[in-house]
Amino acid sequence: MPDPRGFLKYTKRETPKRRPVPLRLRDWKEVYEDFSHDTLREQATRCMDCGIPFCHNGCPLGNLIPEWNDLVRNDRWRDAIERLHATNNFPEFTGRLCPAPCEGACVLGINQDPVTIKQVEVEIIDNAFDEGWVVPLPPDKLTGKKVAVVGSGPAGLAAAQQLTRAGHTVIVFERADRIGGLLRYGIPEFKMEKRHIDRRLAQMEAEGTQFRPGVNVGVDITVAQLRLNYDAVVLAGGATAWRDLPIPGRDLDGIHQAMEFLPWANRVQQGDPVVGDDGEPPITAKGRKVVIIGGGDTGADCLGTSHRQGAESVHQFEIMPQPPESRADSTPWPVYPLMMRVSSAHEEGGERVYSVNTEEFIGRDGKVTGLRGHEVEMVAGKFEKIDGSDFELETDLVLLAMGFVGPEREGLLNELSVDITDRGNVARDANFATTVPGVFVAGDMGRGQSLIVWAIAEGRAAAAGVDRYLMGSTALPAPIKPTAVPQR
């Protein structure tokens, strides 16, 4: 039973400190300093187990937050990781990368700062790995059924682990040369060091999951081969078709999509031989005047990467107005709050520019040298130019971080002939089954661009759907049902 007066004893929310900016810009390691177990226990004590824990609902995985908060408070770390793993295959990913909608729904957050749930989560799993408690859990017996998982991001990995543990033989296909999806080549090292993926993959391999990187399904193996050789298929290929900015000058050199830029930095950190004689990868911000178009998380990842590479200056453009300093009236508790957030990358420098639209890129000798833009305001739900607000800005590297429009259709999806929704994602029913029998979908491919926590939740739920399809019934948990509208 949690301490109902804990939040009165420990009124202050504490989170780990970020390493000093000048220091962390000299390396690519995660930005946070260690957090002592004693302080963490105090923070977990602030959770009052409030009868109706809205945080459960805030977390797409339905994480049993008050239970593991109390176990940490009582120093029962081993029990805590068991409760955490009961609902989340990969707390080391969410504990580092989740925007924590649970904290937005924390009851304490109504009139105080919410419990630092995400930090408790990451400390529980990091401690469990350190103690050697994260061991392979292979199935007792095999079912003789084979499942192909296409895509190795968090959705594919969660589905694969659940299905392997249920006794199916699972092969994960990934077209990139390494397993991990956006965790591997999108999210920079300073947000999550890749060793966290590798140690989880070692556990999965020891459980029996087989990985086939470097295989583009629909190209290297045909859909017909896939259907012939596997009893079921889980599509977890992500929403990788990026949104472009088709304005004059777009074809100039020096204008790239975020996902053309970010993977190079991750490859350097993985030790790949991708740097030229100048010691730099093919696309680098070193010495450049960088403009990032898009004010979201992907843009922030470009910002942190640009600073570590030694950019001369960085501007991050956002067409929306600057959010308020505290929860906007439009997002009352327990809804995920719209408010100004300062990520570690924003703390490191650069200029955030709100309410601006880019009209045209300008260049010389085929290379971008600047852009023209203007300020905008929202009038009757539409952006309108503010007269007289035109400006020009010098730039020699533009990074487009404006989101993704859905999964790529060519190859796999077209060959499979799965139905596509009006929003451009793979259609699925309440069991995450597509319109093609035996083919299921999980994560961004069916949901549209979203979050890691949703991808894991969908991977778990799709695994339950596959198990039921193959065996007639399932004991696997299905934390969520598909929603028509993606929620970030």
Ligand X SMILES: Cc1cc2nc3c(=O)[nH]c(=O)nc-3n(C[C@H](O)[C@H](O)[C@H](O)COP(=O)(O)OP(=O)(O)OC[C@H]3O[C@@H](n4cnc5c(N)ncnc54)[C@H](O)[C@@H]3O)c2cc1C
Question: Applying CB under 6 A, which residues contact ligand SF4?
Answer: 58-59, 61, 63, 65, 94, 98, 100-102, 117-118, 121, 453
CB of 456 to ligand X, least distance (A): 8
Confirm or reject binding of residue 301 to ligand X (CB under 6 A). yes
Question: What is the full DSSP assignment across 233-292?
Answer: EEE-----EE-----TTTTSBTEEEHHHHHHHHHHHHHT-S---TTS--SS--TT-EEEE
Name the residue nearer to ligand SF4 (CB basis): 85 or 374.
Answer: 85
Size of the site for ligand X (CB under 6 A): 40
Biggest CA–CA distance in the chain, Å, is: 72
Q: What residue 102 binds from ligand SF4, ligand X, none (CB within 5 to 8 A, per partner kind)?
A: ligand SF4
- Rounded Cα distance between 155 and 180, Å, is 10
Question: What is the full DSSP assignment across 369-417?
Answer: EEEEEEEEEEETTEEEEPTT--EEEE-SEEEE---EEE---TTHHHHHT
Name the residue nearer to ligand X (CB basis): 59 or 182.
Answer: 182
Q: What residue 62 binds from ligand X, ligand SF4, none (CB within 5 to 8 A, per partner kind)?
A: none
Q: What residue 61 binds from ligand X, ligand SF4, none (CB within 5 to 8 A, per partner kind)?
A: ligand SF4
Confirm or reject binding of residue 151 to ligand X (CB under 6 A). yes
- Rounded Cα distance between 443 and 92, Å, is 18
Contact window for ligand X (CB under 6 A) among 372-380, 389-397, 452-460, 465-473: 452-460
Q: What residue 175 binds from ligand X, ligand SF4, none (CB within 5 to 8 A, per partner kind)?
A: ligand X
For residues 248 and 360, the answer to whether their CB atoms sit within 8 Å is: yes
Confirm or reject binding of residue 58 to ligand X (CB under 6 A). no
Confirm or reject binding of residue 448 to ligand X (CB under 6 A). no
Among 53, 104, 154, 363, binds ligand X (CB under 6 A): 154
Contact window for ligand X (CB under 6 A) among 170-178, 310-318, 345-353, 476-484: 170-178
Confirm or reject binding of residue 104 to ligand X (CB under 6 A). no
CB of 14 to ligand SF4, least distance (A): 16
Number of H helices, E strands in the chain: 19, 16
- Rounded Cα distance between 151 and 180, Å, is 8
C-alpha distance from residue 239 to each of 46, 242, 275, 406, 451 (Å):
38, 8, 28, 4, 11
CB of 367 to ligand X, least distance (A): 25
Backbone angles phi, psi at 453, to 5 degrees: -60, -40
Eight-class DSSP state of 18: B
Among 128, 236, 268, 462, binds ligand X (CB under 6 A): 236
